[in-house]
Structures are given as C-alpha cells and as structure tokens.
Structure 1
C-alpha cells in the first residue's frame, strides 16, 4: 500500500513539473508573439527565441541571409528581447537619416549598464549623451581633430612605427601589435597628452586586453547576459572575464587621471583630460551636470577603444589585400611616386591628387567591413518603417554589411575592386552607399580623425615599403567577429623600397 502511495506521489510531482514546464513554454510563446504589424522573422523557440537561428560567429552574414527571406526590415527575438534588423541602403537611410530622431537612442543593455553604470559616450542617452558628445567634439577639435595641425602628430608616429618595422629587415613579423600601438598613440596624444613607447609592457597589455574585450563584447555570452541578467550575474563564464577586462582598463585610465590631477594647471590645458577636469570644476554644484570623475573615466575608455580598434583593424586588412594583389599595390606606389616622390612625407593636401590611392583605401574600408552590424540603436517613439510598426524602446540593428555588399550598389560586391570608387575618367567618386562610419545623429564621432589616419598611415606605408606574405604562405581572410570584424593574426614581410 505504501509503495502505491509513494508511486502515486512520485507521478503526481512529475505531472506537476511537466505541467509547470509546459505552462511556462506556452506562456512564453503567447507573451512574446509578434504583433500583427510588427516586422516578420523566423520561427521562434520558447525562452531563447531566435538565438539558435543564427550563427553567432558570423552573425552579420546570418542576418544578411535572413533578409533574403524576410525582407529589408525583419525581427529576431534574442532571448527575451526583440531586435529589428534593418537591411539595404534605402531602409538604413530611412531609419538613420530621414527618421533619425526616432532611432537616435541606444538600447539599455544589462551588461553595459552593470559595467559602465550608464556613463560614457557610446551607450548613453538623453542629456548625458548630448553633453558628453558635444564636449568631446569641441575639445578634440581644439586639439586638432580633423585639422591640419594634427598631421605632424600622425606622421611623427609613423616614423616611430617605421623604425620598428624596418628593424625586421624584410623578415616575417606580426604587424598586429605594432599597428595597434601606432594608431593608439594618436588618440593617446589627444586624450592623455603623450604617447607610449612600443616596448611599454603595461601599455601593450592594455591594448591586448582591449582587443579581447572587443571580441567578447559581441559574443553569445553577452547576448545571454542581456537576455537573462538575473541568472547570468550568478554564473561564471566569459561575461565575467569581460567585466574584469574593462575594470582593468578603467584602472589604467584612473592612474593616468591621478597623474593629471597632480600636475593640473587650469591655465594650461594640454589634452582632453585637462579640459574635462576644468569642466568638472566649472559645473560643480549644478544638479544637472554630467561631468565627474566616473564619467571622465568612461568617456576616455570609449575614446581610447573606438579611436584605436577600427583604424588599426582597417590597416591590418589593408596589408593583407596589398599582399594578395601586388599589381594593385604597385599601382598605388607608382601614383605616390609620381605625386609625392620619396623625398617628403605625404600630406592631406595630396589626397585630391591621389585618386587611385584614395579609391584603394575606401575599398579596403568597404570590403574590410570593420563594424558589420553598427552599434545598436533604439526607437525613441513608435515609428513606421518598411510598412511595419516598431514600438518605442525596441532595439534596432542597422546591418551595414547589407549596405556595403549590396549587388545593386556595387558592381562586384564580394571582390576587391578599387573601381567602385573611380569614374570613367579615373577620378575619385564616393557612392552614397558607402557608410562604414554609420550615418545620422549617432555617426562615428571620430570619423574625421579616422579618415586622416587611414590616408596618412596607408600612403606612408606604401611610399616606404612593399608588403608580401612569407615564402610559401598565402593570405588568409578569416576573421574574428566581435564588436568589430578583425583579421586573424598573421605574419607578413615589409621590404623597404
């Protein structure tokens, strides 16, 4: 009899658990159904939504492929959050420019909030974002952002970089850390007021940490954290590593900040940090001020990472493509030799007379596809897009891959072709669909700096060296996909010309 009762209780508990599980799954599906006017998308699984519908290591390719089935505006459910993916130049332009005010915010993401407390430049909204962006643009322009006065800083850094590369005497070397350091020193000169030597182990370690952080920033672990924060906060994993990385980077910045405070003279503002410290003093006591030490650290981190990773990654793609297409490299060098020669360094004024070189740089940016999915946006109000209704507060992903590789906008979208940026007379032209820096109110703050760095660094490298792969090695175009799309580490040879 007791056995019968035990069996009955056991099955009763099992039945209850099965009922609860089925109830949760059904409730989840009902709660998270797509509204009738919401953009369509692939079938969703309970709890995880469409997390299993995409390849997270090639997310930009998966999202572009889905647009062929579901149209230029479609939706995915990532865990408990809906994401609207916008594809193609017309739809992206409609969202970011024509209706830019309606797509101007960033989503509030749990991991970002836990790490940065709503501070910084890249993921803030409202008054904090407006004040910090305005201040950063004004201050960095005063220190030469986008101006001729910054040219000597970039060209001087190239001289340091060239000394490192020439030291290898044409033998194979890994360009990754050297290029990262060179590019990083430009933003460091603006923000910290000084550069770092290439053998500075502490600085090299920070650059490597930043790279690892950028890779993890767009991993599936981050998406799981943002979808299930209460659970993920209690579990170990790469998301914990990511938090530790950014804490270590912030510690490095705080040490720089302390050095600045010890030598700070309000009448002699040397860099962004000095100007920010002055702004803190001027706005002290104002209840609506967003200027304090914590926000300064977050803003410097954003500037440092954004000002290093995209440009250095573009240059590393550039070396690979020049090694892959030596005939294009030779043509660039011939144009540089004719216009500039070997006796002086390039200048931004040379760009107008180097249309082929300029076209090659732009094609590297296009096919390199450095930020393939942009940074996420969020709707500020209910909005109509592509015939669908997107409610307020929905995350929107402008898929730049779908724009930079659209066959309707580019003659050979998947082939390296500088002709995409040249007209029949050989003059440089820039198609409207070229938007690697995004567009609209959230367009890359450092675009003018990146353009200057890319032109001066690339032209200087082509003037000074011929790049090739080591004997018997072919260039490999595989990549790591994080917040950026970066080439795998590789060796190459740089022969002095």
Structure 2
C-alpha cells in the first residue's frame, strides 16, 4: 500500500476516533439532562429549526420530547421549559436556583454583564434593589407617575387627531408617547413630538429590537466565536447601542453639573447620589458604567416592550371591531367623555381589563423570555442541571397553554372573564415573566397600557383602510422578540 493511502486511513481513523470520543463525552455529560434531539457536531440541532422561527421550532420539539427538554443551538446547550406548570415550577418554586441571567452573546459582547437586565450575582442584587426603590420613589413625587402617563396619553390623542381620519402609520407616535414616560423617569423631562434627537433615538431602539430578532442575530447566538469575525447586519447592534450609550452619557454629564442632593429629579440623579454615598466602598456596584448601562436598559426595554404591545393591540381591535365597540361602551358608561380615564376607573371596567390582558397574551412580545441560568447544580423533575446551564423558560408556551385557555390561538377576552362577566385572573399570565427576575417595570407598563388604550378609544374608533378580515397579525420579525407588523390606521373621531 502506498504511503499516501496509509496516511489517509490513519487520518480517517483519527477523525472517527475523535468523533466517537466527542459523542461519548456528550452522552456522559447529557446523561442526567432532559431528553432532546441528538445534536450534530458543531451544528447542534440547527436542522430541527423551522424557518428561523425559534418559538415555533421549540414548540414542535415540545410535542415530541415533552415540556422539559434539551436542545443545542450550535454547540450551545440549552434546557427548555414549556407550559405553565414547568415555567411556574422553575421561576416560582425554584426561584433562587433559576435566578441567574443566561448567556446572550449578541448583548454580552456589548454590555459584558454590566447594567440592570444582564447582570448576575451581587451586582444584579444591588442594582435590582436600588432601581426598584428609585423608580417607586420617582413615581410617587409631586407630579405622580399616573399624572405623567395620563398627560402623555392626551398628547398622543392630539397627535392622532391631526390625521383628521386619514390613514397613517401610528408606530412612531406610539413609541414617542411611551418613550416620553420612560424619559420622564430616567432623564427628568419629555421631548416634543418633532424633536429630531428623540426621533433618532426611537428609530435606533426600533432597529435594535429588529436586529435582536433577525436571522443573523440567531446565528450569532449559536456561533459567536465565528460570527464576530464575519461581516453582516449583526454588527449593526454595536452601532445602535453606541447611539443610546452616547445619549445617556451626555445626559449623565448634564445631571452631574446640576445635581441637587436634596431633591433627585430622575433615575440618573438618584444613581449619582448613591454613587457619592458609596464612594469609599470598593465592592460597590454604583459606578458610572453601571449607571449608563442600567439607564440604557431601562430606556430601550421600557420603550419598545409597551410600544409593541400597544401597536399590536390597536391592530387586533381593528380586526375585531365588535371587541372595540364593547370596550368603548364600557368607557362611555364608566368614564364618559367629559374627563380623562384614571386608574381608579379600572376596577369598574372588567371587559377592558380582559381585552388588555388578552392583547398581551396573544401579542406574545417576548415569546422565549430572556434566558435564565441556574446558579448552582439543580435537580429539576428528576434531571440534574449543572451550575451555569442556560434555561429558556418559554413564556409564550405558558401564555398559549391549552390546559388553561380554551382557544389559545384565538383572540378572546373571555379568557379573562368569569361567568358573571367579572375580570378573572389567570395563573398562566406571565407576560412580565415571574419569580425573582420578573419585569421591574410591570406596574409602569400596566398603567401605561390601561391609560393609553382607554384615552385613545374614548376619542376615536380605529378602523383599517382595507377589509378588517384581511389584516395579517403575523409578526414582522419573530426571534427572541416578536416585532408587530407595520400597518395604517384611520382614527375616526367619535
């Protein structure tokens, strides 16, 4: 046999041996993990992903492997929890064990574990506790949070009225109204609807969320070491975050130059005062980097999540005019048309509450939830999850759990009403997640959704320029986040 033939045989045998060794090690590692599809070397379970819609792909795997299974996104191993019971058990009954923040390579390369949302350990505990207290304090000031939101809702109504019933795209106006509320908390003021700087920020936030759900970003999440060196749209994330970072940094400098220790005006002021208090503490997490990145997280997260829900909600009401009519009847009966809606009205408006909850359920803005990680070796349903294991608690699977919703894929406010027509809480409603990592802005978001929905529907009937039955509710982009489709609306004065 020629030398070249021998070398080929030896090489083939060596590669086969390496593959067998890799497979043996994988089996040993996964022996106590939940079941799942067999991964290919390097590629993982890419072949099981359907058309880049990760949520639908995971739901198909759930049907085969059950509510708890393991999937490999490239070489990255993830344990997936589906349905209300599994998600509830992890986030509530094992809240401490599942309190870690899982890896998100696309954002980790930018934030490096700093800031409120992506932090872990003591950093997360300090920032979470402080931010919750600071936002509550700011919302209870002389100009209460509800008053700010109600005033901004009326500003949005005035902007809608300028259309004079002609079709228009409401997305930027809605984002501006929601963004102004977050801006009042984080920066101490609001921005005019024609302010070019703020409009640029809103476009940046929109672009950031679109990129986070794109195919390129999904590839980066699977193969970060490779994708960081390849050209492509996934690098746009760096530019989007840089715009937000620069804006917040400028605002921090402005606040520093005019800081009054006796009366913090906003979140930045409150953080700066805490930084001064802990100046001599070498273990403190209150420093400029965490200030800037926490503010960025609050601003872009708080703006887009609520804005996307409102945009999707108005689209649903256009497609279901009978539901919109019932909400307006309830508004007229409880609030009338001579004053603005208030949060006190909510207790007397069960149908409106049910509609808003159903909008959140069906819009499913964060279908996969933000990844968690177990902070210690954890036994869960007979399996052993090693410390640091990434976990997807799939919120969308709980929001569409057929065991708790009679028609999970249909828009039906009755899912949140009892037989007497009273509002009924549903234990599977995890639109804001649950447990220790529950959304910090849940109260703020609920207030905005109620006041904006009712303010707009008090003044206008929303109709589609085309046939309502032809309205397509499918997301414009679906990945880690669902981006609502673009559309035109006619705001007809009532």
TM-score (norm 1): 0.94
Q: Which residue of 337, 349, 362 maps to 1:342?
A: 337
Mean CA deviation greater in 460-469 or 226-235: 226-235
Question: Structure 2 CA distance, aligned partners of 1:382 and 1:146?
Answer: 44
1:373 alignment partner in structure 2 = 368
Q: Which residue of 226, 230, 238 maps to 1:231?
A: 226
Question: Structure 2 CA distance, aligned partners of 1:138 and 1:454?
Answer: 22
Deviation at 1:295, TM superposition (A): 0.8
Question: Structure 1 CA distance, aligned partners of 2:237 and 2:12?
Answer: 37
1:475 alignment partner in structure 2 = 471
User: Residue 201 in 1 paired to residue 196 in 2?
Assistant: yes
2:132 alignment partner in structure 1 = 137
1:295 alignment partner in structure 2 = 290
Change (3 A) 1:223 1:331: closer
Q: Which residue of 480, 485, 494 maps to 1:488?
A: 485
Query: Map of 1:211-226 to 2, 5 A cutoff?
Result: 211-226=206-221
Deviation at 1:27, TM superposition (A): 4.3
Q: Is the 8 A contact 2:218 2:479 kept in 1?
A: no
Question: Structure 2 CA distance, aligned partners of 1:420 and 1:268?
Answer: 45
Question: Structure 2 CA distance, aligned partners of 1:63 and 1:229?
Answer: 21
Deviation at 1:118, TM superposition (A): 1.5
Q: CA RMSD in A?
A: 2.1
3-state SS of the aligned residue for 1:76? strand
1:30 alignment partner in structure 2 = 24
Structure 2 residues not aligned, in runs of 5+: none
Deviation at 1:113, TM superposition (A): 2.8
3-state SS of the aligned residue for 1:494? strand
Mean CA deviation greater in 252-261 or 209-218: 209-218
Q: Is the 8 A contact 2:54 2:479 kept in 1?
A: no
Query: Map of 1:215-294 to 2, 5 A cutoff?
Result: 215-294=210-289
User: Residue 394 in 1 paired to residue 378 in 2?
Assistant: no
Mean CA deviation greater in 141-150 or 33-42: 141-150
Question: Structure 2 CA distance, aligned partners of 1:329 and 1:399?
Answer: 30
TM-score (norm 2): 0.94
Query: Map of 1:148-163 to 2, 5 A cutoff?
Result: 149-163=144-158
Query: Map of 1:40-51 to 2, 5 A cutoff?
Result: 40-51=35-46
User: Residue 429 in 1 paired to residue 424 in 2?
Assistant: yes
Deviation at 1:114, TM superposition (A): 2.0
Mean CA deviation greater in 62-71 or 223-232: 223-232
Q: Deviations over 1:65-98 (max 9, x none)?
A: 2111101100101122210100111111110000
Change (3 A) 1:109 1:338: closer
Tell me the number of residue pairs that the alignment of Structure 1 and Structure 2 aligns.
491
Q: Deviations over 1:206-226 (max 9, x none)?
A: 212222212222444344434
User: Residue 78 in 1 paired to residue 77 in 2?
Assistant: no
Query: Map of 1:400-479 to 2, 5 A cutoff?
Result: 400-472=395-467, 474-479=470-475
3-state SS of the aligned residue for 1:103? coil
Query: Map of 1:82-161 to 2, 5 A cutoff?
Result: 82-144=77-139, 149-161=144-156
Q: Is the 8 A contact 2:43 2:75 kept in 1?
A: yes
Change (3 A) 1:26 1:453: same
Deviation at 1:440, TM superposition (A): 0.4
Change (3 A) 1:154 1:23: same
Structure 1 residues not aligned, in runs of 5+: none
3-state SS of the aligned residue for 1:265? coil
Q: Deviations over 1:375-410 (max 9, x none)?
A: 110011222222222111100101112111111101
3-state SS of the aligned residue for 1:83? strand
Question: Structure 2 CA distance, aligned partners of 1:30 and 1:224?
Answer: 27
